Chains A and B, each alone.
Chain A
């Protein structure tokens, strides 16, 4: 039962808003120490854990080119371009991106998009451009909402698309873990097929929410919130 102290530490540390890096490190060390794992083995675990998970950080390699073209006005140009297409609303654009992201991830192309690769340079400025075209200058509340949904469409698309591809990390993790631990021989393809129903549900649910985003944005643009003093009187 003492093994769960680490889990409790993570929860408490997060509730106290301590830097997550510190929380995670202390929780890991405490859990290992309680389980009788020696100091050198703990350091070994931090070393091998870091070395084995370097692929999570590979997205940074596109930052030089993204930073450079942004310096020369990429986001402005994306907004300008989308402003010419009046039928393309923010919600429709993000729903289309969700679909493309999910389908490409399902065929194994999960690195072609991402917050650095596509969301910051292309998807967000286009989504904002579509809103500017419709509503004019946007208040911060609306740009924040569009930014959140631009990042969200990317995440939902890749999470619930990639598992349909057989050679993706999560599928291989399942097969390698259960095959070695429980002596099974699971086919990656069988796992990938079982990811399809949830994938379809994700597209329907999140796609619908993105299409409804247009209405929300219209409400935010045309019905500005009453000043704070007034709202308080109403309550």
Chain B
């Protein structure tokens, strides 16, 4: 059975490729530290396979993660100067290739959908080809490979290293934000182990007026949003706020429908995700990829929607879950 691990190894190899590219680039002002950062990230993607299957100790990866945090966090890394085609060259080549340029771009979603829908149906000798829940990511990996091959065949770039060079440019623009989501998921684990949920529950007990369902709904929904803003991830906020308010107050005391309370609680957390730079992969990475001057631009565009939807969630939970 195929799991997602092959894709993590491919991504690891890609990071190492970018690292080698940076190490060989004398124009990068801090090529050793920058190359080391991406190289370690690549190695960690492969080593992570053995941590997941408990064949290798996790603390070694923990040390490597802390080294990467130090390299990027203390500003020891730097971006290489951008080297790509000029706007004029791009306009010329757009005229030359025309709509053929869309073929590789559209292959990505089309092949992903195909693999995600057809993949789970394939069985070999009675066992399914793809492990449970791995079809979409497998599709993404397969589509990316097919698309890059097709793009090279259509465009005939000067060397096979060109895709690596061009993606290194995009990856360096993202920089340390690539590591933040994974750090936040660790923070969530540590917070839960340390009993942050219980502490928040104690405080919520002081704040909540006795017997007010509406106040409890507001504290749960708004608390989900606030903790998501702090921790960058609704998944990390959910165990904390559910242990504090969702389960003991909303379900046990007020007899709420657990499915409705928890589903709408999670969606209240998503309102927080729209509003926080901690959710780097959703808010900072797009700003970097779109080369925005204001790295909070996506958040500013999302903020009014996030506020209104949080109100809607409070309303829905109050009126339908009890």
Contact = CB atoms under 8 A, between A and B. Distances in A.
A69 B170 contact: no
Nearest to B140: A111
A195 to B, nearest CB: 5
Interface string A48-72: 1111111111111111111111111
B48 to A, nearest CB: 3
The prevalent SS among residues of B at the interface is helix
A211 interface: no
A178 B263 contact: no
B61 A50 contact: yes
A177 B242 contact: yes
Interface stretch (A85-93, A156-164, A223-231): A156-164
A75 B90 contact: yes
B230 interface: yes
B62 interface: yes
A68 B166 contact: yes
B157 interface: yes
Contacts, number: 434
B2 interface: no
Contacts of B294: 144, 148
Interface stretch (B27-35, B121-129, B182-190): B182-190
Question: What is the size category of the interface that chain A forms with chain B?
Answer: 35 or more
A61 B162 contact: no
B140 A74 contact: no
Contacts of B273: 155, 159
A160 B263 CA distance: 11
B200 A159 contact: no
B91 interface: yes
A51 to B, nearest CB: 3
Contacts of A195: 263-264, 267
A49 B236 CA distance: 12
A112 B113 contact: yes
B81 interface: no
Contacts of A111: 112, 116, 136-137, 139-140
Contacts of A59: 140, 281
A20 B284 CA distance: 12
A113 B266 CA distance: 22
Contacts of A167: 133
A202 B309 CA distance: 7
B155 A61 contact: no
B220 interface: no
Contact of A156 (B187, B285, B305): B305
Given A64-B164, A152-B301, A174 B182 contact: no
A16 interface: no
Choose among A81, A148, A209 the residue with the greatest number of B CB atoms under 10 Å from its CB: A148
B131 interface: no
B208 interface: no
B63 interface: yes
Contacts of A152: 274, 298, 301-302, 305
Interface in A26-66: 27-29, 31-32, 34-35, 37, 40, 42-66
A173 B238 contact: yes
Nearest 5 A/B pairs, CB to CB: A49-B186, A67-B166, A73-B94, A47-B58, A43-B62
